[in-house]
Amino acid sequence: MTPHDIHPRPDAPRAALPGCGPLLTDLTGAMPRPLRQVLFEFVRAHGSTTRAEMGRRLGVSAASVSAVTSDLIAEGFLRETADPDTPDTDPPRSARGRPPVSLQVASEAHHVIGVKLGDLRHTAVLSDFAGQRIADLSLPTRPNRKSAAILIAEARALVDQLLAQQGMTRAQIRCVGLGMAGMVDYATGNVPWSPMLDAPGLGLRAQFEAALGVPAYLDNDANLLTLAELWFGGGRGKSDFAVVTIEHGVGMGLVLFNQLYRGARGMGMELGHTKVQLDGALCRCGKRGCLEAYVADYALAREAATALDQHASFSDSPLALLESLFSEARRGNEAALSIFRRAGRYLALGLSNVAQMFDPEVIILSGGRMQYDYLYAREVLAEMQAMTLTGARAPARVEIHAWGDLVWAQGAVALALGQLTDDLLGAQRQGAA
């Protein structure tokens, strides 16, 4: 068995298949949604499709599909297009017959922005209603804790600069999705703790909305990465999978029944803060023995400062220090190798716990640090499998997705599009109508 598949990508994920969003059509276990929303999301996920194909794949009568899609066209959500390249799964037509009429999302109907607020840089993606990226932007920031007011001002400047490059204003944006590291309560918009903030961010989502002048949705950055996989990447056709992120911290996102799982209070899946050592290394959260205190950027840099005797550069340039550590490991420096080996063993322990608790179809390792292949070497993943009780089952597959920085903002686009779709077509909207 090959313990992992490596998929290095230089950029944020763009769907290999047309469209965006989950591709599964089995709605078992899914949250109930109005038929109009189900049909719209099917069209967006496939990019282009016919009414007959929707009816067959979803088990909906032709009359219902026709009636609902006509309403969606009249309301400006979908449009018809005679596309001879669209796969024709309707009954065969004669050479003289009318080409199949496809349905597509009216992409120009709405626009959203996805923003990832990071330790070293903030990134943003402008997208249309069909999930197609129109533009993106990245701006550097200082890697230190800051006030909520400063963070919000930086986000607003990023959004305004991105829009100005396209000759647009915030009035042309329906909503903004934002993500950041830390414990983020999606339902309330509170951030009880974040390594980016100098104090708890109470009502932070409402503050973003007030500053941007449009609805805003705030989530944990690991959830953004998971949504990017679910909407644009390797998770589109999977009902259950986990994403583990390795960056300045260690995060996790979980998809169950084709939907992002956040926990009862919206702050679950904090894999980086599960304990792997009693009275262990100090984590940036203030507690000891957390997984990320052995695996994350700052943990490796802390060890590298000692191994390479470069304590002064630890705070000045932790990423440069990590690069030096990696180069030394490549040259066979035993001290550098031992740091990566220990981090890999702790990561194997964390991944084994994920596989044991949730039994996902696949665990996707993702993040900017995937270039440090010692963390997911064959020996590391073999140890993960050895620690996992699988019985006669095949163990969870591990994939490595080395996306670029824009992947997080692309996930924030998915967050914004998902919430906008719920607001426009979901049960609450239907009940109010």
The domains of the chain, with CATH numbers, are: 17-107 (1.10.10.10), 111-226+407-432 (3.30.420.40), 237-403 (3.30.420.40)
- pTM more than 0.85: yes
Helix axes 62-74, 51-58, angle to 10 degrees: 130
428 close to 36: Cβ distance less than 8 angstroms? no
pLDDT attached to residue 369: 62
85 close to 121: Cβ distance less than 8 angstroms? no
Direct distance between the N- and C-terminal alpha carbons of the chain, in angstroms, rounded to an integer: 54
Beta bridge partners of 364: 243, 399
pLDDT attached to residue 429: 57
For residue range 178-201, what is the model confidence (pLDDT) as tens digits?
999 999 999 999 999 999 999 999
Written as six digits, the tokens of 279 are 């009275």
What is the tally of helices (H) and strands (E) in the chain? 14, 15
**DSSP symbols for 140-177:** E--SS-B-HHHHHHHHHHHHHHHHHHTT--GGG--EEE
Q: Mean pLDDT for each 10-residue chunk of the chain (433 residues)? A: 43 67 73 91 96 94 97 98 56 53 97 95 97 97 92 98 98 98 94 94 98 98 94 91 89 93 84 94 93 90 79 61 85 90 93 94 80 80 91 84 88 98 81 45
Residues 24-27: contacts with CB within 8 Å, 24+ apart?
Answer: 24/237, 24/238, 24/239, 24/258, 25/57, 25/58, 26/239, 27/58
For residue range 315-347, what is the model confidence (pLDDT) as tens digits?
556 677 888 888 888 899 898 899 999 999 999
pLDDT attached to residue 226: 95
- How far is Cα 328 from Cα 305, in angstroms, rounded to an integer? 13
Phi and psi at residue 235, to the nearest 5°: -95, 5
User: Secondary structure of the chain: what % helix, strand, coil (to 5)?
Assistant: 40, 20, 35
Residues 6+ away with beta carbon under 8 Å from 126: 111, 112, 113, 133, 134, 135, 136, 162, 163, 166, 168
pLDDT attached to residue 83: 60
pLDDT attached to residue 90: 47
Where b means 16+ CB within 10 Å and e means fewer, 396-406 reads bbbbbbbbebb
**DSSP symbols for 93-121:** --TTSPPPEEEEE-GGG-EEEEEE--SSE
376 close to 193: Cβ distance less than 8 angstroms? no
- How far is Cα 419 from Cα 218, in angstroms, rounded to an integer? 11
